[in-house]
Amino acid sequence: MVGSAVGPSHPLRLGPVAMVTTDPLLGRLVDGRYEVLERVARGGMATVYRALDRRLDREVALKVMHPHLAEGAEANDFLSRFRREARAAAGLTHHGVVAVFDQGLDGETSYLTMEYVPGTNLRREIRNGGMTVRRAFAILEQVLAALSVAHRKGVVHRDIKPENVLITAESGQVKVADFGLARAVTEVTSTSTGTVLGTVAYLAPEVISTGRCDARADVYAVGILAFEMLTGRLPHPGDTPIQIAFAHVNNDVPRPSSLAPQLGPAVDDMVCSFAARNPDGRPMDAAAALEVLRGVRHSLPDGVLDSVVGDPAAAAAAAAASDGGPASGTVAPARGMPPTTAMPAVGGPAEGARQGTMPTTMLPGRPGPYYGTPGQHAAPGVYGQQPGYPGQAMVPADRRPAGLTAGGAPPETPRLDKKRATGTIVTAIVLLVLLIALFGWIRSQAVSTATVPDGLTGLPVAEAESRLEAVGLVVAKAEQHDATVAEGSVISTDPASGATLNEGETVELLVSLGVDLIEVPTGVVGKMQDAASRALQDAGFMLGTATSTNDDAIPEGQVMAVSGPEGAVEEGASLERGTTLTLTVSAGPPPVAVPQVVGTAVEVARKTLEDLGLRVEVIEEASNDHEAGHVVAQDPENSTQVRRGDPVTLLVSTGPVQVEVPSVVDLSREEARTALEAAGFVVEVEDWTFAFTGDKVGRQVPGAGETANEGSTVTIAGF
C-alpha cells in the first residue's frame, strides 16, 4: 500500500540526481540496442534511465523493473501481466500521454522503453510555488483529457500523482506517464503479500480497503491532486502511511475554500465530488469529470483565476472581488449525474479550522451511523455523494441519541476511573464484534447469488449483456483491439464463466474493437534504409530482415519497395498494428568481371567493355611492342570484379618511337657503333668493305638526319 511505482524525480525527465553508488547498468547495452547513458530516477517499481536507441538513433526513457517483482512462484504471472499492461499502454495515442515504444526481456531484466520528456514534473512546480488558479485548472484539464482517452479504452491508470504528471520544458505541455503499468505490480504484490501497491496520499478508499478499482479511482486521485494544487497542501497529511490511509477511508476531503476562501462553493463542490469516499458519488470517468471541471472554470471570475495559490493577500482580494459573482452559480452536471446547485460554504475560516482538527476515532468492524452535519464534510447530494463511508447512513437530527449536538460531538461527560473506563471499552468492542458477525451471517443468508453464464466469449456484446442481466448481474464494458475476435463481440469476461457472484454485482465484458489498423506512411520508398525503418517503426509496424537487389539507376542503400506477409504494400494502405514489413533496398549496379582486351584493336576493346555496361577511358602512348591503335595495357586488370558504370582505362599504342639517325661517316667502325647504339639503333657492319678503305666509315643506311623506328637496324660500310 505504501510502495510507489515512481520515485521522487520522474523517470521520463532528465533532472539532477545524486549518484551515491555505481549503477551496474550505466554504460551497458540492453538487449543489444539501448545504450544506458544516465540514471534518472528510482522508485518502488523500477529504475529509469536515459538511454540511446542505437537502432533508431533517438533518446528514450528505459524503465527497468526491479528483479524482486519477477522472483518466486509469481514470476510468470508478473511477466505476463507486465507485458499485457505494456501493450494496453502502448495502444494509447494522445498528445497528453507519454508514449510506450517497446517492452522486452534481456536475460533476467524486464524493461520498457518510453518517450523521453525533458522538462519538469508537477511535484516540482507545486513546490516552487507561484501557481495561479488558472494554471491549476489548465493542468487538471490536460490530465483529465489524457485519462479520458485511457478510460474509453478500458485502461485505468491507478497511480495518478504529481510525479507522474510531466511538464515539457519548451511548451509547458502536460503529459501523463505510466498508464496502466501499476496494475501488473499491484496484482502480483496483492497475490503474494496481501498489499496494495500505490502512492497512499492519492489512493481511493476502495483501493485501500478492497484493492479493487475502476476509472473512478483515477477521478479520486485527480480530486486529491486538485486540492493540493489549489491549496498548496494535501487534504490528509500524516506522519505515517497508515495514518494517511486511515484518513482517506474515514474522513471526507475538506473544502478547499477553508484554506483558500477566494475559491468559493463551486470549486468546493467540484473537488469534493471528485474525491468523494463513496465511488458512486464521483463522476463515472475522466470524461465526465472533465465536463464538470470546464463548467466550474467558466463560472469563475478573472480575479479568482489569476489569484496565486498560497498567497493569503491575493486570496482575500480575489474573494472580495468575486462576492456575488458567477462563482456562486450552478455547476454543469457531468454525464450520468444529476444537475446540482453549488452549496454555500458553511462557517468561516475559524469553523473550518476547528473541524479540520477534530480527532477521528476508528472502531473495529464496519463504521457506525454518521451523525455529522452537511457542513462538517462534503455537502450531501453533490453529484450523488453521501456523507461518510459507503454503507454509512446519516442519522436525522430527530433520531440522534439524547444530548448529541448538531455538529455530531457528544457533550462532555464526567471522567471515569481508569479501570472502569477500560472495562467499558472492552465490553463495547466485544459486543460490536458479535453484532458485526451476526449482521454478516444474516446478510449472507439473505443475498441471492448468480453464476456467470458459459459461452459469452465470441458473442455480440448486446447478446452477452442480455444474458448477464437475465441472471441478475450488472454489466460494465471495456474495449480493446483484437485481431481474432470480430468487432463488437466479447473477447473475455471478468470474472470468468462459472464464477459465482451476488446478484447485482458487476461483470466486466472486454469488447473487441476489431483489428487495430494503421496506415503505411507515405514517402518510405525513396528514403535511405535507416530513415525508412525509423518511419515505419514510429508508425507502429515491426520490421523483418531487409532484402537487397541490384539496380543500375537507384543508389545503393535506397528503399525500392515495401512488402508485407501478403506481398507488396502500397503507401497509405491500412494494415494491422504490429504487422511485420520487409524493405527491399538497392544494392546498386550489379557486379561485372573485367575481360582481357590487351593486344586487341582499341575499337574492338571499347565495344567489348561498353556492352558489359562499363565506361571506357583511353590514354595513348607510343610503343615499340604494339602496333598503332592496339591496347598496350588496361586498368582494372583481367577478371577484376567491378560494378556496371565503373570506368576501365585503356593504354593504346600510337606506334613505335621515331628516332633521328645520327651521322657516323668518317668515324671509325667502333665509334660509329657506339653512337648508333646510344641513339637506340641496332648496328650492322659490312666488314668486307673496309678492306679497301681502311677503318673509316664511308657510307650509312639510313642516312644521317633521316628518322627510323627506335630499335631498327642501321648499316655502316667502308664505301
Asked if residues 632 and 598 have their Cβ atoms less than 8 Å apart, the reply is yes
Give me the chain's average pLDDT, please.
77
182 domain residue, yes or no: no
CA distances for 163 relative to 53, 123, 196, 223, angstroms: 25, 6, 19, 16
Higher pLDDT, 571 or 347: 571
In a shared domain, residues 485 and 543? no
CATH number at residue 711: 3.30.10.20
Angle formed by the axes of helices 286-299 and 133-152, to 10°? 160
Nearest alpha-carbon partner for 235 in 204, 250, 257, 256: 256
Range of weakest confidence among 221-235, 327-341, 502-516: 327-341
Cα–Cα distance, 198 to 244 (Å, whole number): 13
In a shared domain, residues 672 and 640? no
Domain range enclosing 548: 517-586
In a shared domain, residues 644 and 663? no
What pLDDT does residue 212 have?
Answer: 78
Beta strand 580-586 with 559-564 is: antiparallel
What pLDDT does residue 421 have?
Answer: 58
Nearest alpha-carbon partner for 698 in 661, 666, 675: 666
Please give the tally of structural domains in the chain.
4
Active-site residue flag, 159: yes
Beta strand 165-168 with 174-176 is: antiparallel
What pLDDT does residue 73 have?
Answer: 55
Q: How many helices (H) and strands (E) does the chain have?
A: 18, 33
Asked if residues 244 and 237 have their Cβ atoms less than 8 Å apart, the reply is yes
1 domain residue, yes or no: no
- Whether the pLDDT of residue 135 is over 60: the answer is yes
565 domain residue, yes or no: yes
Amino acid letter, residue 656: P
Tell me the per-residue pLDDT of 356-401, one tens digit each, with 9 for 90 and over.
333 322 333 333 333 333 333 333 333 333 333 333 333 334 433 3
Asked if residues 658 and 709 have their Cβ atoms less than 8 Å apart, the reply is yes
In a shared domain, residues 710 and 667? yes
In a shared domain, residues 459 and 477? yes
What pLDDT does residue 325 have?
Answer: 38
- Whether the pLDDT of residue 416 is over 70: the answer is no
In a shared domain, residues 561 and 531? yes
Cα–Cα distance, 520 to 522 (Å, whole number): 7
Tell me the per-residue pLDDT of 617-632, one tens digit each, with 9 for 90 and over.
999 888 877 888 899 9
Residue 267 φ/ψ, nearest 5 degrees:
-65, -40
What pLDDT does residue 252 have?
Answer: 94
Helix H, strand E, coil C: the string for 202-213 is: HCCHHHHHHCCC
Range of weakest confidence among 214-218, 369-373, 497-501: 369-373
554 domain residue, yes or no: yes
Angle formed by the axes of helices 264-274 and 286-299, to 10°? 170
Cα–Cα distance, 384 to 273 (Å, whole number): 8
Is the four-CA dihedral 199, 204, 209, 212 of positive or negative sign? negative
> 159, 218, 252, 268: which is the annotated catalytic residue?
159
541 domain residue, yes or no: yes
pLDDT band for 644, please (50, 70, 90 cuts): confident
What pLDDT does residue 399 have?
Answer: 39
Which of residues 629, 653, 677 is at a domain's end? 653
Task: Please list the residues that pair with 714 across neighbouring strands.
Answer: 683
What pLDDT does residue 81 have?
Answer: 62
Which of residues 600, 622, 653 is at a domain's end? 653
548 domain residue, yes or no: yes
In a shared domain, residues 565 and 597? no
Higher pLDDT, 456 or 69: 456
Residue listed under C-alpha cell 633521316: 706
The grid coordinates of residue 558 equal: 535506397
Total length of the chain: 719
Tell me the per-residue pLDDT of 17-30, one tens digit each, with 9 for 90 and over.
333 447 888 889 99
Q: What is the three-class DSSP state of 39?
A: strand
Q: What percent of the chain has pLDDT over 70?
A: 74
What pLDDT does residue 366 have?
Answer: 35
- Whether the pLDDT of residue 458 is over 50: the answer is yes
275 domain residue, yes or no: no
Which of residues 632, 653, 674 is at a domain's end? 653
In a shared domain, residues 638 and 667? no
pLDDT band for 443, please (50, 70, 90 cuts): low
Asked if residues 394 and 370 have their Cβ atoms less than 8 Å apart, the reply is yes
Average confidence (pLDDT) over 586-613: 90
Q: What percent of the chain has pLDDT over 90?
A: 34
698 domain residue, yes or no: yes
Nearest alpha-carbon partner for 287 in 394, 147, 397, 157: 147
Counting beta carbons within 10 angstroms of the beta carbon of residue 498, is it exposed (0 to 12), middle (13 to 18) or buried (19 or more)? exposed
H-run or E-run covering 701:
strand 699-701
Tell me the per-residue pLDDT of 193-213, one tens digit each, with 9 for 90 and over.
434 445 789 999 998 888 778
